[in-house]
A = this chain, B = another copy of it.
Amino acid sequence: MSSRSQTIADILTRAIIDHRLVPGCKLGERELAEIFDVSRIVVRQALIRLADDGLAQIERNRGAFVAKPSMQEAMEIYDALTLVEQGVAAQLSDRLGPAGWAELRQHVERQRHAVAAGNDALADVLGQEFHTVFVRLSRNKVMQEIHAQLVRRTTLLRSLITADFDYCNLLDDHSRVVDLLEKGRLKQAMDLIDTHHRSVVRGYIMDREVFPEMTPAEALAPYLEAKADGATASVAPRKPAKTSGPAKTSGPAKTSGNSDGATAHLHVHLPKKDPVPTSRAASKKTNRGLPT
């Protein structure tokens, strides 16, 4: 078992890439310490890890916040991701054996089935996973870790944007990349990777200031069930009073059953049905306004 700070960093990472903790959200040491029932020091170590990973930013004497990348940084992240995946593509076009191509095709097929079945959530996850599988086939752990970090950051970015992707198109891109690569048309494959990412970035609109916001306690509760086994179950209210905001619509995003327990929080972007009334609109200035 790894250290506790690593465990907590992992949970926070999950919560961030699940979009339960949104950019700009304050990550107070004392608050998190109470939520996880550990000392502040462990929380601090976890926050250091998150900051090193680019998912949080720590401001001296002001605390840690979920990172809120600028548009500039967003483009840099996608450029870097493109660069990495193009490089991997070049390597694979030389070195990948039949088993590798089969794995890629199989993955694309799985996603295609998910799309056909209307399971958008699964399709979204598989769509992201494709890139990970792709890089894994390079058999370079260092590269995998770099890529995984970039993917986490792009996932964070998707909290800031209008995620209105056309899964069919993106899926088709995956399929075509595999085809082109296997046929040795490296240049075209690399161009397609570039286009693929650009098509994602193009949809970005970062000036929206409205997020469905949860307090960290609400956001993190699902991940704690495993730990707070049975009895003590509901993590919730140790100290209800202070938690920053007024209790917003407690049901963050319906998610109906939310049965998925610990592992499967794959929250997809919901269309803008906006069940949340505009109550928050003028209510107060939340701490989401970031410096810079």
A interface vs B, CB < 8 Å? 1-3, 5, 41, 44-45, 48-49, 52-53, 58, 60, 73, 76-77, 79-80, 83-84, 86-88, 90-91, 140-143, 146, 150
Contact = CB atoms under 8 A, between A and B. Distances in A.
Given A86-B87, A87-B87, A146-B146, A80 B140 contact: yes
B143 A83 contact: yes
A142 B76 contact: yes
Nearest to A46: B48
Number of copies: 2
Nearest to A83: B87
B48 A79 contact: no
B88 A83 contact: yes
Contacts of A73: 141-142
A62 to B, nearest CB: 12
Contact of A146 (B53, B80, B90): B80
Nearest to A146: B146
A143 B87 contact: no
A143 B52 contact: no
